[in-house]
Chain A
Amino acid sequence: MLYSIFHLGRNMIGVPIYTILEIVRSNKFHQVKGAPEVIDGLINLRGKVVTVINTGIAFETHKVVVSDESRIFIFKNNAELKELTDIDSDDDMSPDNIGLHVEKIEGVINVEKDELQPVPANMAHPFYQHVVRRGEDFIIILKPSKAIILNSTETVKP
């Protein structure tokens, strides 16, 4: 399966390609008054309103700021995910399209099923699903369904 990779501080995080609707440059956000800090704001994607979560704040590292390298991963909503015929997924996404604001993307990797390893206990985090080894590096595979429920609540503590 293909995974798109982004950077979070020193870590590399992967999300399954099939859950992504599109990746766009981050630019301006429409601020939402009273929204929790983890929400960067709203963006308009060809008529769709997308709520954008700041990945840095969500993971309690550092706030991701708009730069030449920053991007937004826009995830499919439930309906869009169900339309996929060839994908066998039990992920339950949000009814709306949600975006993750990340500081830098890396590219796409193909990971075979047997490469997916459980997250070591000392790294356990509700958003993490698996760990993949690539040479000297580890890539954390994210469970998007967990990460994107943040939009309706305050920051979820692990």
Chain B
Amino acid sequence: MNPNQDIQFNIYNPVITYEHRAAYDMIVSQLQEIFPICNQGKCKALEVTDDPQKQKQINDLMEKVEYFSDSLINITKVFFDQLYRAKEGSSESISHSMAKIKIDMMERSLLERTCDVRWWALEKAFWQCIEISNASQGKEAKSKAGAKTASASACQQAVDLACTRLEDIRSSYTLYRDLVIVNAHGIVVANSNADRKHLVLGLDVSDEAWFQHAMQTKDGTDYHVQDIAHSKIEEQASLIYATAIRADGDENGDVIGAMGVLFDFQGECQIILNDYLPKAANGDMLDGWFSFFTNSQGKVICSSDQHFIPFGASPELPRSHRHLSKPGESQVTTGIFFGNRSLLVSYHTAGFNEYPGLGWTSHLVLPIHAIFERASDSKVFGITPKELMSSSLIPAQNRQTYQEIQRNKGDIQLISINGIVLATDLGKAGKSFMPIFDQITETGSSTTGKMELLLSEMSADMLQQNLQALTNLSQQAIELIDRNLFERAADVRWWSTDHVLWESLQAKDKKHLEAINKRLQIINASYTMYRDLVVADASGRIVANSKVENHDKLMGMSVADQYWLRQGMQMSKTTHYAAQDVCDSELENENTSLIYCSAILENGQRSGKPVGVLGILFDWENQAQPILAACLPRINNEVAHGGAAFYVNRDRVVIATTDETHFPINQVVNIPTENVNLKDGHTASGLFSANGRKYIIGSSGSHGYREYKGLGWTAHVVRAID
């Protein structure tokens, strides 16, 4: 809504609360009662004195009172208008960012998926299986139906191995419902979901678009995403990432088959859509609140309430919301949604980095009454309404109204006292004026007092809304890092199962160890978020790493006493992993290190004895910084005054920050204890003073993501209010 629009306040507007309607009625009727009192004063002036100068003075005073009363009636209207607009404006802005957060979160996750499928398609077990399957299918076509060939058992072995590796991937990356590899004829030859193996293996998917597109990909860097659609592979609608499997695992080799990974879109969406929606005490979502995504055709692909907004439906949204198509385009309107007058917010995806997204739109619907619900008193946050009213949280025009009310209050007080002065000068005759001026004083302070109360209510609401916005941002910051680190935990678990690693560690000769170096280099070249990957043998000596510049320094280095190595050597399953919190490590020179590790198990088994440990050094600062920057509080796309975001570890030490001056890295953070001592997944907000400034803060504790349990970190987003 445009804040410069003319006054729209209307007492009959249904959004006006009963209390506000009553307050408005009382203020206006009290002010209107002043006019007959002033008339009475003017008449009395003629009655009690013959002095024309005194008569004029009294007359002038009465007219001034009339003027200020009239002015206060107008200010009351302006004030109520501003009160509602401020709440509406701030709710719109928060809802808009919520709709955006949701689709951004989804897109970031989907970008990771594009990397996954391209990398996995190079796996030896898969291309070997496809080659054997293609060959055996060709032979079967030539031989009699049902006749067993000598290669059948080799084929079965290859299929079993491929299935095992697909299962390993799925148990490391739990975001997938199934992963399949398909031969050149479109027949599914292996899958990851053992429960569905009997339904999936042998399926002909040659007529499915994702398979056809995958077979046409240019090279190993190309992929195809099949937007939500039905596939024979599963009953529910699928989001499939696919790419070709190439001969010899060569990125530029001939296409021999395809790999399709079926992302748990519904499960992932449900987490994202339900996030940030308010819940009742019993945990149920509040009525009238909806969050859903629509695809480029405007059809619902997932919603927070399947009953009202089922998959495939076309929700009753205004045309302007249905036709968003430009990246980052958005629409905010009010309208009726399932019988409720609601605020409707839609945001069209802008993709993430180089990933353009699939043209989805995020929608958020909330009941209008939720915008105008009363917040708690600002005093609970230790700030007076007056301090709050002059803070930068309150829009300039509301601050002006506050000052105008204060000024009128002062003027009416002045007129009353001057009236009493005049009446005193009139001696006994003047005494009859006293009740008139008493009434004016009383009305003046009562009405302006009521308005001040409403102003403090408004400022408390603004504070509450801003705290909520900061809390949402901090929640976004912790969730984004949790999700990012979940991916790292998945990476390390999967890579540690690579056959080159365990084979070479068991062989122990120079040639084999050189093979690990090469393998680590290939892996790291495919990812941008790791600074180095290192492998240590069971004695705790580093035997290989990916970063050539560090090679001489690291080879033979003993890391036996380092946390990540000790943790890794205690693992016995491929599903295990550990993380060493951000700290200085001798593995690196300049930056602090965040190391994820997983055991390399004997003979590549799923459980067994470790023969070494894989440690991956996450490029922490460079990955955390953009996430924090994206979560900074903004006003009209500009970072709010004194805005900062930072992560704090369980020792209250800042581990990443956007404001190195006020919240520096490696220092214990100077924010209230209740904001740092958060239980997993809990949030807190409030005010605090630091660095000679007053801040508001929203904080969220990590609650991990899927199997990643988090490291007890908290995310904080602040902005200065003075």
Contact = CB atoms under 8 A, between A and B. Distances in A.
Given A68-B403, A84-B427, A20 B414 contact: no
Nearest to B438: A108
Interface in B418-436: 418, 420-421, 424-425, 427-428
A4 B425 contact: no
Interface residues of A, number: 20
B427 A86 contact: yes
Interface in B392-415: 403, 406-407, 410, 413-414
Given A17-B420, A20-B421, A68-B407, A85 B427 contact: yes
A17 to B, nearest CB: 5
A17 B417 CA distance: 9
Contacts of B427: 84-87
B410 A107 contact: no
B414 A108 contact: no
A14 to B, nearest CB: 12
B410 A17 contact: no
B418 A22 contact: yes
A105 B413 contact: yes
Contacts of A32: none
Given A68-B407, A86-B427, A17 B414 contact: no
A93 to B, nearest CB: 14
B434 to A, nearest CB: 9
A21 B421 contact: yes
B441 interface: yes
A23 B418 contact: yes
B417 A108 contact: yes
Contacts, number: 44
Contacts of A86: 427-428
A23 B549 CA distance: 82
Contact of A107 (B417, B418, B425): B417
Q: Which of the listed residues B417, B418, B427, B441 has the most CB atoms from chain A within 10 Å of its own CB?
A: B417
A18 B421 CA distance: 7
A151 to B, nearest CB: 21
A25 B420 contact: no
Contact of B414 (A2, A23, A87): A23
A107 to B, nearest CB: 7
Contacts of B420: 2, 4, 17, 108
Contacts of B407: 68
Contact of A69 (B410, B424, B428): B410
Nearest to A20: B421
Contact of B410 (A21, A68, A87, A108): A68
Contacts of A84: 425, 427
A71 interface: yes
Nearest to B403: A68
A71 B414 contact: yes
Interface in A50-68: 68
Interface string A1-39: 010100000000000011011111100000000000000
Contacts of B424: 2, 17-18, 87
A105 to B, nearest CB: 7
Chain B contact residues (Cβ within 8 angstroms of A): what range? 10 to 19
A2 B410 CA distance: 20
Nearest to B414: A23
Contacts of A69: 410
Nearest to B411: A25
Contact of A23 (B403, B421, B428, B441): B421
B459 to A, nearest CB: 18
A95 B594 CA distance: 84
Given A2-B424, A18-B424, A22-B421, A107 B413 contact: yes
A15 to B, nearest CB: 11
B417 A105 contact: yes
A105 B418 CA distance: 12
B635 to A, nearest CB: 27
A24 B415 CA distance: 9
A21 B424 CA distance: 10
A69 B406 CA distance: 9
A44 B452 CA distance: 33
Q: Could you say which of B410, B418, B425 has the most chain A C-beta atoms within 10 Å of its C-beta?
A: B425
A24 B414 CA distance: 7
A4 B417 contact: yes
Contacts of B428: 86
A18 B425 contact: yes
A85 B424 CA distance: 10
B23 to A, nearest CB: 24
A139 to B, nearest CB: 16
Nearest to A69: B410
Contacts of A21: 421
B622 to A, nearest CB: 51
B421 A25 contact: no
A2 B416 CA distance: 13
A69 B425 CA distance: 26
A69 B418 CA distance: 16
Interface in A114-140: none
Nearest to A84: B425
Given A68-B403, A107-B441, A17 B421 contact: yes
A84 B430 CA distance: 12
A20 to B, nearest CB: 5
Nearest to A18: B424
A18 B410 CA distance: 21
A105 B406 CA distance: 13
Q: Which of A84, A85, A105, A108 lies at the interface centre, i.e. has the most chain B CB atoms within 10 A of its CB?
A: A108
Contacts of B413: 105, 107
A20 B397 CA distance: 37
Nearest to A110: B434
Interface string B699-710: 000000000000
Contacts of A4: 417, 420-421
A92 B412 CA distance: 31
Contacts of A108: 416-417, 420, 441
Contact of A25 (B403, B414, B425): B414
Interface in B627-647: none
A101 B448 CA distance: 25
Interface in B176-219: none
Nearest to B441: A107
Contacts of A2: 420, 424
Interface string A62-91: 000000110100000000000011110000
Contacts of A24: 414
17 contacts: A2-B424, A4-B417, A4-B420, A18-B424, A21-B421, A22-B421, A23-B418, A25-B410, A84-B425, A85-B427, A86-B427, A86-B428, A87-B427, A105-B417, A107-B413, A108-B420, A108-B441
Given A4-B417, A21-B421, A22-B421, 18 more contacts: A4-B420, A4-B421, A17-B421, A20-B421, A23-B414, A23-B418, A23-B421, A25-B414, A68-B403, A68-B406, A68-B407, A68-B410, A69-B410, A71-B414, A87-B427, A105-B414, A107-B413, A108-B420
Interface of B: 403, 406-407, 410, 413-414, 416-418, 420-421, 424-425, 427-428, 441
Kindly list the 10 A-B residue pairs having the minimum CB-CB distance in the complex, ordered from nearest. A86-B427, A17-B424, A20-B421, A18-B424, A108-B420, A23-B417, A85-B427, A22-B418, A4-B417, A17-B421
